[in-house]
Amino acid sequence: MKDFKDFLLKTNALALAVGVIIGGAVGKVVASLVSDILMPPIGFLLGNIDFSGLFLNIGLGGYATLEEAKAAGAPTLNYGLFINSVVDFVIMVFCIYMITRLAMRPAPAPAGPAMKTCPQCAESVLQAARKCRYCASPF
């Protein structure tokens, strides 16, 4: 048990497991966003098209809906479901891009000491200095 605990704590296995669980949950939310929120208005704007029902029958016989074709066991190319999956993928990749962009943002550099410019040689010296370190003129 100690080896397993060391494995979890010394490697990124625990972080990876948490990431997979959160990714699965986010994936379900994105899939619902695409199929329930985004695609119906897009389908409406394109002439009342239901993308999830778009298919191409490659077998014999004619079927009005994808459900009828599936019930009959007909081979179909379900390009509407593929379009939904592509939109899911694009949104998921964009979310991952934004999260990693925020996570990888470098921390701002700490502010340096206050500086002033020497009136004689125009070099930058510390604000608290009483004499220029370059030309030795007093302030």
What mean pLDDT comes out for the span 27-35?
83
What mean pLDDT comes out for the span 48-75?
86
The C-alpha atoms of residue 48 and residue 7 are separated, in whole angstroms, by: 54
* Distance, C-alpha 121 to centroid of its chain: 51
**All structural domains of the chain with their residue ranges:** 2-105, 114-139
pLDDT > 70: percent of the chain: 99
pLDDT > 90: percent of the chain: 17
Rounded to two decimals, what is the model's pTM?
Answer: 0.55
Instruction: Please report which confidence band the pLDDT of residue 124 belongs to, taking 50, 70 and 90 as the band edges.
Output: very high
Q: What angle do CA 42, 47, 52 make, to 5 degrees?
A: 55
CATH code assigned to 2-105: 1.10.1200.120
Do residues 135 and 120 lie in contact, with contact meaning Cβ atoms separated by under 8 Å? yes
Burial 78-92 (b: 16+ CB within 10 A, else e): bebbebbeebbeebb
